[in-house]
Amino acid sequence: GAVVSQHPSRVICKSGTSVKIECRSLDFQATTMFWYRQFPKQSLMLMATSNEGSKATYEQGVEKDKFLINHASLTLSTLTVTSAHPEDSSFYICSARTSGGNEQFFGPGTRLTVL
Amino acid sequence: KQEVTQIPAALSVPEGENLVLNCSFTDSAIYNLQWFRQDPGKGLTSLLLIQSSQREQTSGRLNASLDKSSGRSTLYIAASQPGDSATYLCAVRDSSYKLIFGSGTRLLVRP
């Protein structure tokens, strides 16, 4: 089956620093990638959708200048949390879909803790 | 706006029981519905995907049904095992092709 990886799996940083999370599709070309965040005991909330080579489309309420998304290739998307604060602490999950694909494949998630 | 609700929020059953998890959605204009499993601190594992034209899908001890007109889906787990303990998420792909998630059902199967 299709595999999506994320790196790092866990990161702890100080308030005010920036953190980059990578999402890779290992055995397929992902024309579209999605970034979700999940707070404890809550469901996944879509943050943004990115298509390879295009600017990301952000959901309402998500600050595009704070959560920078780059989808430079068909196998890699990155999410950079700029000037992170404790309220940004969450579980970030990426997902990938092929062109015309019916199914999304999810990465294992990245636990971000901002002190 | 599409909203997905899952009931119950949490469920505890003894090993061996058959159980049903419920999912409802407010807008019947969906492309498909998917059930996922999420273990604590982990990502999502896809269990079953039902296209809008289908009524049910089966995989091993799992059976998922879809009644699009009434906005309901159920996930049936037969002969539950402690290894089935996890959070089960229902998600619909809405008319804008986005995947909208429910808040999940946390299942505990007691040995």
CB contact under 8 A, B49 and A102: yes
Q: At A88, phi and psi to the nearest 5?
A: -85, -5
Interface test with B, best of A11, A37, A95, A106 (most B CBs within 10 A): A106
pLDDT tens digits, A12-71: 999 999 999 999 999 888 889 999 999 888 889 999 999 888 889 999 999 999 999 998
What is the spatial distance between Cα B52 and Cα B71, in angstroms, rounded to a whole number?
Answer: 11
Region of B69 (left: φ > 0; alpha: ψ -120 to 50; beta: rest) is alpha
Tokens representing B107?
Answer: 């299942």
Beta bridge partners of A65: none
Rounded Cα distance between B40 and A47, Å, is: 21
In this prediction, residues A3-17 reach a mean pLDDT of: 95
**What does the pLDDT look like over B52-71, one tens digit per residue?**
999 999 999 999 999 999 99
Looking at CA atoms only, how far is residue B89 from chain A in angstroms? 8
* Lookup result for tokens 């890779």: A24
CA distance B102 to chain A (A): 6
**B62 within 8 A of B54, measured Cβ to Cβ:** no
Distance between alpha carbon B49 and the CA centroid of its chain, in Å?
10
For the ranges A40-54, A80-94, B46-60, B77-91, the lowest mean pLDDT is seen at A40-54
Beta-bridged to residue A10, according to DSSP, are A111
Query: What does the pLDDT read at residue A51?
Result: 87
In the structure encoding, which two tokens stand for residue B51, read together? 């296209």
Does position A1 have pLDDT exceeding 70, yes or no? no
Q: What is the 3-state secondary structure (H, E, C) of B16-44?
A: CCCEEEEEEECCCCCCEEEEEEECCCCCE
Q: Which 18-77 residues of chain A touch chain B by CB within 8 A?
A: 34, 41-46, 49
What does the block give as tokens for A14?
């100080």
Q: Which of A114, A110, A69, A112 lies closest to A93 in space, CA to CA?
A: A110
